[in-house]
């Protein structure tokens, strides 16, 4: 997300919330936030996402489960969708379907044809 997009769509945290961001209220109205059990088959989702945030979770799974989850994330994203993971969660050797952008932000390289 560019600096201009951050200023346009997010509020920066202050004080104890320094370093965090909150989506601006006008944007919250058109965003759907969901929590799911990552091990559930199939996921209870029938739409594709523009962005998936899965931070500091995947590191607790073994490599095979990590590989499977990243494939499922790729299948659940819109073309050119974004996956945002924790700083210690690299996709190297786990999925070729994502292009690293900066830090822990990845973009889907190619479109998938299945959902979850």
11 with 60, same domain? no
Segments forming the whole domain that contains residue 115: 32-116
Res 43: pLDDT: 87
For residue 75, the Cα-to-chain-centroid distance in whole angstroms is 12
Confidence at residue 111, expressed as pLDDT on a 0 to 100 scale: 55
- 68 and 78 in a single domain? The answer is yes
Model pLDDT for residues 47-64, shown as the tens digit of each residue: 898 999 999 999 999 999
Is 87 in the same domain as 105? yes
> Percent of the chain at pLDDT above 70?
94
For residues 108 and 31, the model is more confident at 108
Say if residue 102 is preceded by a cis peptide, omega within 30 of 0.
no
For residues 104 and 33, the model is more confident at 104
Mean pLDDT of 62-90: 93
Residues 6+ apart with CB under 8 A from 88: 56, 59
83, 73 contact by CB (below 8 A):
yes
Q: 37 with 89, same domain?
A: yes
Q: Please check the confidence at residue 116 and state whether its pLDDT lies above 70.
A: no
The pTM of this model reads 0.73
Q: If you average pLDDT over every residue of the chain, what do you get?
A: 88
Does residue 63 share a domain with residue 18?
no
Residues with Cβ within 8 Å of residue 48, at least 6 apart in sequence: 76, 77, 78, 81, 115
Indicate the pLDDT class of residue 83, thresholds 50, 70 and 90. very high
């Amino acid at each position: 997300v560019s600096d201009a997009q951050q200023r346009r769509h997010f509020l920066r945290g202050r004080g104890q919330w320094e370093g965090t961001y909150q989506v601006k209220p006008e944007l919250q109205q058109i965003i759907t936030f969901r929590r799911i059990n990552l091990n559930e088959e199939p996921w209870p989702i029938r739409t594709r996402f523009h962005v998936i945030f899965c931070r500091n979770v995947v590191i607790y799974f073994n490599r095979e489960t990590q590989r499977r989850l990243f494939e499922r994330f790729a299948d659940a994203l819109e073309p050119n969708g974004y996956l945002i993971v924790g700083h210690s969660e690299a996709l190297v050797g786990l999925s070729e379907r994502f292009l690293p952008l900066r830090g822990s932000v990845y973009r889907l390289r190619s479109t998938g044809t299945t959902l979850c």
